[in-house]
Amino acid sequence: MKKTLLSTLALIALGGVVTSCGKEQKDAPQPAGNTSARATELPAGETITGSIQTDSLALVDLYKSLDGMGWSHSNNWNSSRPVATWAGVQVSDVAGAPRVTALYLGGNKLRGTLPKSIGQLTALRSLQLQYNRELTGTIPAELYQLTHLRSLRLRFTSLTGEVSPAIGKLTELDTLDLSNSRYDLSMWWNGDPATAKEHRPNGKTLTGSLPREIGQLTKARYIDLSFQGFTGTLPTEIGALKSAKYLSLYGCHFSGELPASLGALAQLEYFSAGLNEFSGSLPASLGSLKSIREIHISGNKLTGAIPASLGALKTLQQLNLAGNQLTGTIPAELAHLTGIYVIDLKGNKLSGTIPTDLGGAQQSLLISVDLSDNDLTGTIPARIKRYLPDAAKYAGLHGLPDYGYTMFVLSGNKLTGKIPAEYLAYPKTLQLLLPQQAGYGFSNEPK
């Protein structure tokens, strides 16, 4: 069975953030006794400072700084029991010595600011502090000294300030989750700018521009910066994230043009830059994203034509460019997207006719096409496919229309000719097709 359009959301499991249906997946510290049986080897010639003793002192300071008495899970913390028995603490053998290698304190009611002593946990591989809304202050400079970190999760906290250029020191990172959202909402916004504020979380956020040193995270596969207060242009160095599979910039305040360097992300499967202030043209280099499955760039100020190069994206399953100011015609090349499930181009300034082969038999997986509220003219193509090959196959997908056929939304255009007979047989479809459309000249409009 082919992967579904939500398959790339499984990447979120790298950070354990939400389920494929967008629901929150609550975090809690792992139970005590998390000593890993697997030893961690260091690269030849590399050493790590510190010891289990300095680790324990840093943990005690963390406990006191973040109101450990009020934590949801604090078993054995600040006691004489071995550090490996403290709730949420993982100890592993590092170069022949026990060290703290992971902290799992997500959703643990941490309260206060991160202490500088966090930088003493020099063997730390994973720092999980997500879903602690009372975690405040800035990211301490000492955190960027944890150069062995592979997972850093600070999602849905109240951290403020700027991300330091020192982020570039964390070259071992696989997962960087700085999102300010409890959920992943990038799939569900309907493209209407009037609803944008409803999707922006309340509370404090990270601010400032994204440092160009972000491009030094060449091992990072999962990067989520969504719903923060980041401003300025996206650095061209973003194209150096050669291992990235998931990249979300959704719901920030980025502006300027999308850099052409994005096309260099050959491993990228999911890209979301919706609900920002990006302007200028879509880079044609996006057509080089040979692994991409989902592109979400709705709700910006993009102008110009849709690049024909997007038609070369054989793996693409969702294309969402709604709510921009795109002009020109719909590229005929979009009919070459044989793996596509959803095309959403509503709310632009597209003109001309609908490509003859769009939605034809070659796009057998297509579920939804929304071309509403543009300036399209001409007739509805006779080849538009209207039935799913296997409706039951899609029954478990969240947020998709509960119809046994492909849904084309065409209202708010200037189409003429005849309404296809298949549409006349489905009143639900006509409700989507005819509002704002009636009177434009369909010769067989229902009375």
- Where do the domains of the chain lie? 7-39+49-433
Residues 6+ apart with CB under 8 A from 372: 346, 347, 409, 410, 411, 412, 413, 432
pLDDT of residue 237: 99
pLDDT of residue 359: 86
Rounded Cα gap, residues 126 and 103, in angstroms:
6
Q: How many CA atoms lie within 13 A of 381 on its CB side?
A: 18
Annotate the chain with three-state secondary structure. CCCCCCHHHHHHHHCCCECCCCCECCCCCCCCCCCCCCCECCCCCCCCCCCHHHHHHHHHHHHHHCCHHHCCCCCCCCCCCCHHHCCCEEEEEECCEEEEEEEECCCCCCCEECCHHHHHCCCCCEEECCCCCCEECECCHHHHHCCCCCEEECCCCCCEEECCHHHHHCCCCCEEECCCCCCCCCCCCCCCHHHHHHHCCCCCCEEEECCHHHHHCCCCCEEECCCCEEEEECCHHHHHCCCCCEEECCCCEEEECCCHHHHHCCCCCEEECCCCEEEECCCHHHHHCCCCCEEECCCCEECCCCCHHHHHCCCCCEEECCCCCCCCCCCHHHHHCCCCCEEECCCCCCEECCCCCCCCCCCCCCCEEECCCCEEEECCCCCCCCCCCCHHHHCCCCCCCCCCCCEEECCCCEECECCCHHHHCCHHHHHHHCCCCCCCCECCCCC
Q: What angle do CA 129, 29, 83 make, to 5 degrees?
A: 100
Contact between 419 and 380 under an 8 Å Cβ cutoff? The reply is yes
Q: How many CA atoms lie within 13 A of 217 on its CB side?
A: 29
Q: What angle do CA 440, 446, 447 make, to 5 degrees?
A: 100
Q: How many residues does this entry show for the chain?
A: 447
* Residue that has been written with the tokens 């991409």 in this structure: 292
Phi, psi (degrees; rounded to nearest 5) at 59: -70, -40
Rounded Cα gap, residues 336 and 32, in angstroms:
54
Rounded Cα gap, residues 363 and 337, in angstroms:
7
Quick check: pTM over 0.95?
A: no
pLDDT of residue 4: 37
Other Cβ atoms less than 10 A from the Cβ of 391: the count is 13
Residues 6+ apart with CB under 8 A from 428: 403
One digit per residue, pLDDT tens: the chain, 447 residues?
333 333 332 222 233 322 223 334 445 455 444 444 455 666 655 779 999 999 999 999 999 999 999 999 999 999 999 999 999 999 999 999 999 999 999 999 999 999 999 999 999 999 999 999 999 999 999 999 999 999 999 999 999 999 999 999 999 999 999 999 876 554 444 445 455 555 565 557 999 999 999 999 999 999 999 999 999 999 999 999 999 999 999 999 999 999 999 999 999 999 999 999 999 999 999 999 999 999 999 999 999 999 999 999 999 999 999 999 999 999 999 999 999 999 999 999 999 999 999 988 888 888 888 998 999 998 887 666 554 444 444 444 444 444 445 677 788 888 888 777 666 665 555 555 555 454 445 566 555
Token output for 5: 């359009």
Residues 6+ apart with CB under 8 A from 34: 84, 88, 89, 90, 91, 102, 104
pLDDT of residue 408: 77
Q: How many CA atoms lie within 13 A of 389 on its CB side?
A: 10
pLDDT of residue 414: 85
Q: Which fold would CATH assign to domain 7-39+49-433? A: 3.80.10
Question: In whole angstroms, what separates CA 163 from the centre of its chain?
Answer: 19
Contact between 349 and 373 under an 8 Å Cβ cutoff? The reply is no
Rounded Cα gap, residues 187 and 6, in angstroms:
10
pLDDT of residue 45: 59
pLDDT of residue 240: 99
Residues 6+ apart with CB under 8 A from 402: none
